[in-house]
A and B are shown apart, each in its own frame.
Chain A
Amino acid sequence: MWLLYLGLAPLIVLIAAWLVRRKMFRDTAVFAAISLAGFGLWASIVHGRPIILNTAIGRIFSALMPWLAG
């Protein structure tokens, strides 16, 4: 668990900071968005409650189906 916070978080922060220093703000935004999504998934795994994407897609479709059919 500490590997996540000690390793991955600083990595993301450092790269984001480097991008900001190079004044590539759009890059920073895109990088932050994707890597934070990844960080969120990793955090869920490490804390023992992974967000299973399969099930999520299944739920989205189950919710959409009556709306589409009806």
Chain B
Amino acid sequence: MISRGQYYLLTVNFTLGTTLFVTINALIQEAGTDAWMMPLWAGAYGMLVAMLWMALLRSSPGKSPVEIARVAWGPAGAIVGVLYLIFFCLTAAWALRNLSDFMNVTIMPRTPPTMFHVMFLLVAGYAVAQGSETVGRLNALVTPFLVVSFWASLALATAEWDWERLQPAFRDPWAIVRYPDLLGFPFMETFALTMLWPRVRSGAAGALLLGLASAAVSISLVAFMTVGLLGPERAARINYPIYTVVQEVELGQVLVNIHSVLTVILITLIFIKLLVLLYAAFETIGQLFRPSSRWPHLLALTILLSAGALTIYENPIQNRIQTSAYIFIFDSVYALLIPVLLLITVQVRRMIGGRSRRS
């Protein structure tokens, strides 16, 4: 069982995970100097959708969505469960591939990507096998280091701040409507956290909502600072702008190469994201098939995900083209459509059951 504080931190780190370095460039390309507004709208949307999940989870306390599907729809529910398993596996493969792309481009160009994938999966698998307490406590333990290092590095970079870069402001506040990808990734992907919901002792609702809000504000602040430090022209072209921001930090004449700190922070954030996704996938398997052993399935997932990470997309350019076409629909099916149908089914059943009991 994990506490609500740990659940909150898991939500924040999960949402921030790959977002901080995959989407900032795209955000600034789409909205220019007003890029900081997009995460705020997306976060508000995410919170609304999360309330839908909460309604579903509260209707059957102690059960995760997969279990609810099993109970509500019987054998069809098993298929839904498998669909969710595929969803979690795809997202995990995505996160892994984002990580290895980032590492290969910036700081470790010669390491084969599979090394990153397999290492992460084995360590994450071991953590997941120990249960939700390990996941929650591990995250709670690393978060202070992440937060302090990350914001300290960015604070050091503000020596190069220039308000002129952020002007003219408020020219495009509704860019989110034209580019709804941010609604899907990361805010609807946070559905994976609902698999952890039954393990939270109390107060999960508040923790989830507050976590989504905190993450949205963080992303917004990072986009804001990126524009203020690099300018919209550079930030819209550089693939990993935060890395460049920290790379150009110069503390006196001495501390000039602190960007490896940022690399470690980003690796850890992605690891947390992978941890939650792997946990969700593992729980799904557990709830669908009730196996007696743990590690063989984690090993199988490692094999599957390490292959998936290599084949999830051809290259980052193709990834951007494909995701901008389908990510919103793809995430909506899992995070909106199915939960809504489930909720309706459960409520209808309850109403019918109530009526038949009364009569």
Which label, helix, strand, loop or mixed, suits the secondary structure of the B interface?
A: helix
Q: CB < 8 Å: which of B289, B300, B311, B325 contacts A53?
A: B311
Q: Mark A48-70, 1 if CB is under 8 A from B, else 0.
A: 00111111011001000000000
CB neighbours of B313 from chain A (8 A) = 52-54
Does A52 lie within 8 Å of B314, measured CB to CB? Answer: yes
C-beta contact mask, B294-330 vs A, less than 8 Å → 1, else 0?
0011011101111110111110001100110110011
Q: Please, which residues of chain A bring their CB within 8 A of the CB of B305?
A: 38
From the candidates A26, A44, A45, A55, name the one contacting B322 in the complex (CB within 8 A): A55
**B48, chain A: closest CB distance, angstroms:** 23
Q: Is the CB of B293 within 8 A of A24?
A: yes
Task: Confirm or deny: B291 has a beta carbon within 8 angstroms of a beta carbon on chain A.
Answer: yes
> Which chain B residue lies CB-closest to A35?
B300
Extra contacts, 14 of them, besides A53-B93, A53-B308 (Cβ < 8 A), are A8-B303, A19-B296, A26-B292, A27-B292, A31-B296, A31-B300, A34-B304, A41-B308, A45-B311, A52-B312, A52-B313, A53-B313, A55-B322, A57-B90
A13 contact set on B, CB distance < 8 A = none
B290 located at the interface, meaning its Cβ lies under 8 Å from any Cβ of chain A in the complex? yes
- Residues in A with CB closer than 8 Å to B127 are none
Bound-state Cα–Cα, A28 to B330, Å = 31
Residues of A within 8 A of B (CB): 8, 12, 15, 19, 22, 24, 26-27, 29-31, 34-35, 37-39, 41-42, 44-45, 50-55, 57-58, 61
Asked if B285 is at the interface (CB within 8 A of a chain A CB), the reply is yes
Asked if A57 contacts B326 (CB within 8 A), the reply is: yes
Contact (Cβ within 8 A) B290 A26: yes
If the complex has contacts A52-B314, A55-B322, are A30 and B297 also in contact, measured as CB distance less than 8 A?
yes
> What's the minimum C-beta distance from B288 to chain A, rounded to whole angstroms?
8
Which chain B residues border A57 with CB–CB below 8 Å? 90, 322, 326, 330
Q: For the complex, what is the distance from the CA of A12 to the CA of B285, rounded to whole Å?
A: 18
Residues of A within 8 A of B304 (CB): 34-35, 37-38, 41
CA distance A15 to B295 in the complex (A): 10
- Given known pairs A44-B311, A45-B307, A54-B319, the reply for A34 and B290 (CB within 8 Å) is no
- Contacts known (A26-B290, A30-B285, A61-B329); A41 close to B311, Cβ less than 8 A: yes
Q: Are A45 and B310 in contact (CB under 8 A)?
A: yes
Which B residues are in CB contact (< 8 Å) with A58? 322, 325-326
B329 proximity list for chain A (CB < 8 A): 61
Residue of B nearest to A45 (CB): B310
Residues of B within 8 A of A61 (CB): 326, 329-330
Q: How far is the CA of A27 from the CA of B308 in the complex (A)?
A: 22
